[in-house]
C-alpha cells in the first residue's frame, strides 16, 4: 500500500525539522568558550611562586571584566603591578575608581594564594605616587617577625567564586550568615530598606541605559557568543545556550543593544528588571576617604566578602550603576550616598545578596598576556 502524499510529506518534513532541531541542539550544547575559561583550570600550575599566586589573582572580578592589570616580574622575588591605561572606562568610570577597586581584588587574591604556598607578600601601594605603579610586592617565606606564613581558609573558595548575574531565590538570608558578613560590609535585609535600594538600582540601571555614551561604552565591550568570547576573553560576555538561541533568532545583537526601540533592547530591560528585582538583601562597602589606597582597600574587602559569601553558599553580584560618576548619574549617585553612607563617606561597592544558582566561570586573558618586562 502506497503511502499518502500527505503522510509522506509529514514524515519527510517532520524528519527535516527534527534534524534541524538536533543540529541546533548540538550547536547549543557546545557553546562553552573553552579558550576563554582556560585560566581557571590553569590556576596554580606554575613553578615560580609569584606566577602561581598571579594565576589565581587574574581570576579577580573587575569592572566590565576589563582585567586592567599588567605585572613586571623582572626583579627577583618581586612583582610590580601597573594599571593598563588602555583598558580605561572613560564613560562609566571617569576617575578609574572602580578599576582601582578591581586591582584591590587582584592584590587580595594574590596575597591569599601566596599564603597558601607559605609566602608573605609585603605590599607597597603607589610607591611612586598615583601616576606610577599601583603596587610593589615582595614575596618572602617569613613574615616581618620571622614567623612561618599561615594559609588562609578563603583560598578554598577562589575557584568557586563568581559574580552571580541571575535572579535570586525568594527567601531571606539567615541571620547567622549575615553575621559572618558584617565585619566586611554593611548589610541590608529589612524589607523596607531593601525595597528602597532595589528601586535605586533599577532607576540607576535605566539611567545608564538611557545615556548614549555610557550605553555605547558597555555595548562596545559586549562579546556575542562563543567565538567572540574566545577571541576577546574580557568585557561583558553574552554566551551560553539561552543567549545564543536569542542570537540565532536575531533577538540579541549588537545593533539591537544600541537601539532603545528594538525588541532586543526591550528584552534586555526585562531580563535586567527581573534580575534586579529578585533580590532579598544587599551588601555595601563604604570608606571614610576616597584616596587610591582607600579604593584598593575597598577592593580587598570586597574580595574577602565575595569569598566568604561563596563559603556560606550565598550569591553576590555588584550593581554599580548608581555609584558611577558621570553627570547623567548624579541624582542616583547622591541618593546612593544619602541612603548607604554617613556624610563624607564614599560608597565604593553595592552588591545584591541572596541565594542564587552557581553560574559558570567568566572569561579571562591568560597570565602570559599580562606579564611585561
Ligand atoms: C568595581 C567593580 C564593579 C562591578 N560592577 C558590576 C556591575 O555593575 N554589574 C555587574 O554585572 N558586574 C559588576 N562587576 C562584576 C564584574 O563584571 C565581574 O566580576 C567580571 O565580569 C568577572 O566575573 P566574575 O566575578 O564572575 O569572575 C563589578 C566588579 C567590580 C570589581
- Is 241 among the domain residues? yes
pLDDT above 70 covers a percentage of the chain that reads 94
Determine the residue of 33, 37, 62 to mutate for testing ligand 1's pocket, defined as the one with the most ligand atoms within 8 A of the Cβ atom.
62
* 173 CB-near residues (< 8 Å, 6+ apart): 187, 189, 280, 281, 314, 353, 354, 355
Whether 313 is covered by a domain: the verdict is yes
Residues 152 and 252 in one domain: no
- Rounded Cα distance between 236 and 125, Å, is 29
How high is the pLDDT of residue 7?
A: 52
- For residue 298, tell me if it sits in a domain: yes
Confidence of residue 9 (pLDDT cuts 50, 70, 90): very low
Burial of 99 (0-12, 13-18, 19+ CB in 10 A): buried
**Domain boundary, last residue among 133, 160, 187:** 160
**Residue 145 C-alpha to ligand 1 middle, in angstroms?**
37
Is 1 a residue whose pLDDT tops 50? no
> Is pLDDT of 29 > 90?
no
Confidence band, pLDDT 50/70/90 cuts, at residue 21: low
Q: What is the C-alpha to C-alpha distance for residues 171 and 192, in angstroms, rounded to an integer? A: 15
Q: How far is the CA of 62 from the centre of ligand 1 (A)?
A: 5
Check whether 170 has a pLDDT greater than 80.
yes
Distance between Cα 207 and ligand 1 center (Å): 18
Q: CA–CA separation, 170 vs 167, rounded Å?
A: 9
Mean pLDDT to the nearest integer, 315-322: 98
260 and 192 in a single domain? The answer is yes
Find the range with the poorest average confidence among 29-33, 110-114, 188-192, 328-332. Answer: 29-33
Query: Rounded to the nearest whole angstrom, what is the distance from the C-alpha of residue 6 to the centroid of ligand 1?
Result: 55
C-alpha 164 – ligand 1 centre gap (Å):
9
* Residue 236 Cα: closest atom of ligand 1: 21
Number of domains in the chain: 2
Mean pLDDT of the 334-345 span: 98
Q: What is the C-alpha to C-alpha distance for residues 278 and 272, in angstroms, rounded to an integer?
A: 10
- Angstrom distance (rounded) from CA 35 to CA 13: 38
Question: Given this model, what pLDDT does residue 287 score?
Answer: 98
In a domain, 128, yes or no: yes
How many angstroms is it from 304 CA to the middle of ligand 1? 15
Q: Are 134 and 82 in contact (CB under 8 A)?
A: yes
Q: What residues have CB less than 8 Å from 178, skipping those under 6 apart?
A: 187, 189, 281
Domain identity same for 231 and 336: yes
The whole domain housing 81 covers 35-160
Do 151 and 218 lie in a common domain?
Answer: no
Residue that is last in its domain, among 109, 135, 160: 160
Does residue 69 lie within any of the structural domains?
A: yes
Q: What is the sign, positive or negative, of the torsion defined by CA atoms of 272, 302, 208, 247?
A: negative
Q: Are residue 258 and residue 134 in the same domain, yes or no?
A: no
Q: Is residue 23 part of a domain?
A: no
CA angle 330, 333, 337 (to 5 degrees): 140
For residue 68, count other CB atoms closer than 10 A to its CB: 26
Place of cell 531571606: 172
Residues 283 and 154 in one domain: no
Q: Say how many Å lie between the CA of residue 21 and the centre of ligand 1.
A: 35
**Which candidate, 67, 126, 136, places its Cα nearest to that of 293?**
126
Phi, then psi, of 259 in degrees rounded to 5: -115, 100
Give strand ranges (E) for 201-341: 222-224, 236-238, 281-287, 315-318
Q: pLDDT digit string (tens) for 226-267?
A: 999 999 999 999 999 889 999 998 889 999 999 989 999 999
- CA atoms of 144 and 156, how far apart (whole Å): 25
Domain containing residue 275: CATH number: 3.40.109
Say which residue, 269 or 360, is predicted with more confidence.
269
Give the pLDDT of residue 16.
53
User: In Å, how far from its chain's centre is CA 207?
Assistant: 21
Give a yes or no: residue 19 inside a domain: no
Q: Are residues 111 and 224 in the same domain?
A: no
With CA atoms as reference, report the closest residue to 109 among 72, 166, 152. Answer: 152
Please tell me the predicted confidence (pLDDT) of residue 174.
98
The domain that holds 151 is classified in CATH as 3.40.109.10
Q: Which of 119, 137, 160 is the last residue of a domain?
A: 160
* Nearest atom (ligand 1) to Cα of 349: 1
Cα separation, 165 vs 180, whole angstroms: 22
> Each residue of 62-110: pLDDT tens digit?
999 999 999 999 999 999 999 999 999 999 999 999 999 999 999 999 9
Q: Of the candidates 63, 59, 67, 52, which has an alpha carbon nearest to the alpha carbon of residue 38?
A: 59
- Claim: this prediction has a pTM higher than 0.85: yes
Residue from 67, 97, 163, 361 to probe ligand 1 pocket by mutation (most atoms less than 8 Å from CB): 163
pLDDT at 12: 47
Judgement on whether residues 136 and 202 belong to the same structural domain of the protein: no
Is the residue at 350 inside a domain?
yes
Residue carrying the nine cell digits 566578602: 305
Which residues neighbour 3 within 8 Å (Cβ) at sequence distance 6 or greater?
A: 11
Answer yes or no: is pLDDT of 359 > 70: no
Query: Can you give the pLDDT at residue 26?
Result: 81
Site residues for ligand 1, CB cut-off 6 Å: 61-65, 98, 101-102, 105, 162-163, 165, 318-321, 362
Return the number of other C-beta atoms located less than 10 Å from residue 139's C-beta: 19
Asked if residue 204 and residue 102 are part of one domain, the reply reads: no
Q: Is 206 found in the same domain as 138?
A: no
Atom of ligand 1 nearest to the CA of 321: 8
The residue nearest atom 7 of ligand 1, judged by CA position, is 319
Can you tell me whether residue 304 is helix, strand or coil?
helix
Q: Please, which pLDDT band fits residue 22 given cuts at 50, 70 and 90?
A: low
The mean per-residue pLDDT over the stretch 260-286 comes to: 95
Same domain, 293 and 321: yes
pLDDT (tens digit per residue) in 131-166: 999 999 999 999 888 899 999 999 999 999 999 999
Q: Are residues 138 and 261 in the same domain?
A: no
Task: Report the mean per-residue pLDDT for the chain.
Answer: 93
Amino acid at each position: 500500500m502506497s503511502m499518502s502524499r500527505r503522510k509522506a510529506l509529514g514524515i519527510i518534513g517532520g524528519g527535516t525539522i527534527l534534524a534541524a532541531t538536533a543540529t541546533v541542539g548540538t550547536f547549543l550544547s557546545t557553546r562553552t568558550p573553552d579558550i576563554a575559561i582556560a585560566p581557571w583550570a590553569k590556576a596554580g600550575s606554575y613553578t615560580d611562586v609569584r606566577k602561581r599566586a598571579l594565576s589565581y589573582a587574574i581570576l579577580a572580578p573587575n569592572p566590565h571584566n576589563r582585567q586592567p592589570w599588567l605585572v613586571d616580574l623582572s626583579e627577583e622575588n618581586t612583582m610590580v603591578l601597573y594599571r593598563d591605561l588602555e583598558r580605561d572606562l572613560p564613560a562609566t568610570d571617569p576617575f578609574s575608581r572602580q578599576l582601582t577597586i578591581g586591582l584591590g581584588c587582584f592584590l587580595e587574591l594574590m596575597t591569599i594564594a601566596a599564603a597558601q604556598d607559605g609566602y608573605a607578600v609585603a605590599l607597597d601601594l603607589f610607591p611612586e605616587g598615583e601616576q606610577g605603579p599601583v603596587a610593589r610586592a615582595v614575596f618572602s617565606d617569613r613574615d616581618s617577625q620571622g614567623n612561618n606564613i599561615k594559609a588562609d581558609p578563603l583560598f578554598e573558595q577562589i575557584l568557586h567564586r563568581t559574580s552571580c548575574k541571575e535572579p535570586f531565590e525568594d527567601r531571606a538570608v539567615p541571620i547567622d550568615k549575615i553575621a559572618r558578613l558584617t565585619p566586611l560590609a554593611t548589610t541590608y535585609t529589612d524589607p523596607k530598606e531593601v525595597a528602597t535600594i532595589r528601586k535605586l538600582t533599577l532607576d540607576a540601571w535605566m539611567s545608564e541605559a538611557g545615556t548614549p555614551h555610557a550605553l555605547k561604552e558597555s555595548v562596545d565591550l559586549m562579546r556575542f557568543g562563543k567565538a567572540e568570547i574566545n577571541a576577546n576573553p574580557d568585557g561583558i560576555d553574552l554566551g551560553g545556550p539561552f543567549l545564543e538561541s536569542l542570537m540565532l533568532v536575531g533577538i540579541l545583537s549588537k545593533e539591537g543593544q544600541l537601539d532603545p526601540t528594538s525588541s532586543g533592547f526591550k528584552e534586555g530591560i526585562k531580563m535586567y528588571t527581573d534580575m534586579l528585582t529578585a533580590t532579598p538583601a544587599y551588601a555595601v562597602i563604604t570608606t571614610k576617604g576616597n584616596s587610591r589606597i582607600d579604593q584598593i582597600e575597598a577592593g580587598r574587602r570586597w574580595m574577602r566578602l565575595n569569598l566568604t559569601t561563596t563559603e556560606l553558599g550565598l550569591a553576590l553580584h555588584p550593581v554599580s550603576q548608581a555609584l558611577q560618576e558621570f553627570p547623567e548619574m548624579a541624582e542616583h549617585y547622591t541618593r546612593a550616598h544619602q541612603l548607604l553612607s554617613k556624610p563624607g563617606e564614599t560608597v565604593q561597592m553595592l552588591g545584591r545578596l541572596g541565594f542564587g544558582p552557581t553560574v559558570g566561570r567568566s572569561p579571562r586573558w591568560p597570565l602570559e598576556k599580562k606579564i611585561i618586562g
